[in-house]
Amino acid sequence: MEANALSLSLIFSHTVQYRAPLFQRPYVWSEKEQWELLWSDLAQLSDPASELQSVLPYFMGAVVLEQLESQTGAPGARAIIDGQQRLTTVQVLLVTLYDVCKKRFPEQFIVDDVEKLIFNTSREFEGSFHRFKLWPTNLDRKAYEAVMTAGAPAHLQLQSSGIQGTIADAYRYFYRMMDDWVAEKGEEGYAWLERLYRILAEKIRIVVIDMDQQDDAQTIFETMNARGTPLLPSDLVKNYLFKKLADENGHDPETVYENYWRSFDFENGLWRKEFKQGRLNRPALELFLQHYLVMAQSKEVAASNLFKEFRKYAEQSQQGAIDLLKSFNKYSKHFKAFLEAHDLKTQEGLFFHKLRTLDTSTLYPCLLWIYSSLDGKPEREKELKAILEVLESFLIRRMVCRLTTKNYNNLFLELLTTLKNENNCDADTIATFFKGKTKDTGRWPDDEEFRTSWLASSIFTNITRPRLRLVLAELDKALQLPKTESYDLNYDSLTVEHFLPGSWEEHWPIDETGKTAEEILKARNLRDVLKHSFGNLTFLTSSLNPAVSNGPFKRKKDEILKHTVLNLSRFLHTTQDWSEKDIIKRGAALYDLAKQIWPRT
């Protein structure tokens, strides 16, 4: 290995092309994190009043290169193992300088000098990608070629969005800053531009590490630090798999990329979007990587150690790169479906909505295995429906009974191992597994325990409002009768209201006549529990809620019936009074529905 601190004039003056392999991540530097600082430094160094010789070299970090075989007639080529972000940035800077010079001082010699640093100028390269000194990863090629040939931002036609347009954003930023900067100098503008060229060409230093055949490109890639934009574990996984693919030979990397990895890069609106898991937000691809590893190994995997865990798994499994890529891609399609399941009119969409509301992500590795195991089976939809019903019943019953979720990671790992060992994914196997648990950490509450908690627990104060809403929404839908008009509601926009209000003393006094102090205290305590139970709860709109919240029953009843269409409140038509007995009676009726919605089969 050789390492030398080289100027841009030495790096780019020869007929050469630096190529970012297709498995590299796209260009991700940004204005706030990198461009502003770099431009501020360069503008300050470009004052022609000081001697150029007195300016100290400006180091921009290191790049790691690997020699590539070149076709006859093509420029010498090197693969950029690490450092494509900084090399791309300096090329965008140079083409910006080139375009601003052509606009304001087209006859000056630095136009030709800059051109030699960004293009291989031989006629034989015209019309070919070989004319560019740098050729980025395939995600960025369209944007990069557009930028390098635009001439000005106004001519930049780029049909791209999101991360694919970041190079174009860099060009627009540097062009705006440089053009305004030159305009401010007036007649002295050329002197400042010439000095900027000298700073770029002669004073910027990049440590170029040229690898030889004995060097391990993957190890070097993993240990290099990108300036201000750390690599994600999935970036390292991608690099690892495609380097492994190259070492194995026999596969066209471009075809493999198109078939098994392209979606992760181009569907960046999904895979790089952050989703909440616990208290943290993480990119979807990182969440999937973690769930995939848990599923594949049936053991916990720390979010902070994903790449090392993946490499260890890949080595121990002794699978080839193509098999690992196929597997990763296959399970990702299921995880993508989980993330995109939002249609609340379908059982699947509703299940994953509930799973997100319950924040039970530890079930995802099991679900990946279940969905994949059912692929291609003739009874897939029927079996899947039954499985989701069992899982939902288990989760909802435990939530209502206030049983802990702290052991869910171990519990669902045990379920995953059971399904793998029995090589059987069906609802009966999963139900039998849950029924075999007797401790609080994994018990599936039976009807008696479910009923006791349903009728006598202060559910309103025991669970979060979104979780309470999802239970009440299911009850409201279950109360729909054939003769009543159906309706579609966004239950998440409604508020949960008490019939017997939280502050009941003024309009709902307890009859204390003939009662002892102990009996009065017992009656008050019972009421304070029942007021927060299912039997006393309904939905209201946010505007109706304050108008009726603590009023007497008759006024509350009349206002609710005047405005509501909800099945949950339809019983008020035949209700004249509201007492503890009425709450218990309604709670029992709702429990009978809940037992049907979430049966313990």
Q: What is the pLDDT of residues 221-240, one digit of tens each?
A: 555 544 445 678 898 899 88
The predicted structure's pLDDT at residue 159: 52
The predicted structure's pLDDT at residue 161: 45
Give the count of alpha carbons within 13 A of 410, CB side only.
Answer: 7
Examine residue 228 and state whether it is found in any structural domain, yes or no. Answer: no
Query: Which of 417, 444, 471 is the last residue before a domain boundary?
Result: 444
Verify that 430 and 453 share a domain, yes or no. Answer: no
Q: Alpha helices, DSSP H only, in 105-137?
A: 110-118
Q: List, for residues 403-442, the tens digit of each pLDDT value.
A: 999 999 999 999 999 999 988 889 999 999 999 999 999 9
Query: Which of 413, 444, 475 is the last residue before a domain boundary?
Result: 444
Q: Do residues 537 and 460 touch, judged by C-beta distance below 8 A?
A: yes
Verify that 476 and 429 share a domain, yes or no. Answer: no
Distance separating alpha carbons of residues 463 and 452, to the nearest angstrom = 16
The predicted structure's pLDDT at residue 227: 43
Verify that 361 and 489 share a domain, yes or no. Answer: no
The answer on pLDDT for 214 being more than 70 is no
Using DSSP's 3-state secondary structure scheme, residue 76 falls into strand
* pLDDT bracket for residue 550 (50, 70, 90): low
- For the chain, percent of residues with pLDDT exceeding 90: 55
Verify that 481 and 557 share a domain, yes or no. Answer: yes
The predicted structure's pLDDT at residue 162: 41
Encoded tokens for 501? 């209000």
Beta strand 537-540 with 495-498: parallel, antiparallel or unpaired?
antiparallel
Q: List, for residues 142-191, the tens digit of each pLDDT value.
A: 899 999 999 999 888 765 444 457 899 999 999 999 999 999 998 888 99
The answer on pLDDT for 536 being more than 70 is yes
The predicted structure's pLDDT at residue 360: 93
* pLDDT bracket for residue 213 (50, 70, 90): low
Verify that 388 and 481 share a domain, yes or no. Answer: no
Tokens 């869910």 sit at which residue?
408
Distance separating alpha carbons of residues 390 and 521, to the nearest angstrom = 41
Q: List, for residues 257-295, the tens digit of each pLDDT value.
A: 889 998 888 776 789 888 887 777 889 999 999 999 999
Q: List, for residues 501-531, the tens digit of each pLDDT value.
A: 877 766 677 777 777 888 778 878 888 888 9
The predicted structure's pLDDT at residue 75: 87
Whole-number average pLDDT of the chain: 88
- The whole domain housing 475 covers 449-597
Verify that 115 and 190 share a domain, yes or no. Answer: yes
Verify that 371 and 425 share a domain, yes or no. Answer: yes
Number of domains comprising the chain = 3
Distance separating alpha carbons of residues 10 and 132, to the nearest angstrom = 16
Verify that 69 and 177 share a domain, yes or no. Answer: yes
Verify that 185 and 215 share a domain, yes or no. Answer: yes
The predicted structure's pLDDT at residue 371: 96
* pLDDT bracket for residue 67 (50, 70, 90): confident
Q: Which residues contact 419 (CB under 8 A, 6 or more apart)?
A: 366, 369, 370, 373, 425, 429, 430
Verify that 433 and 463 share a domain, yes or no. Answer: no
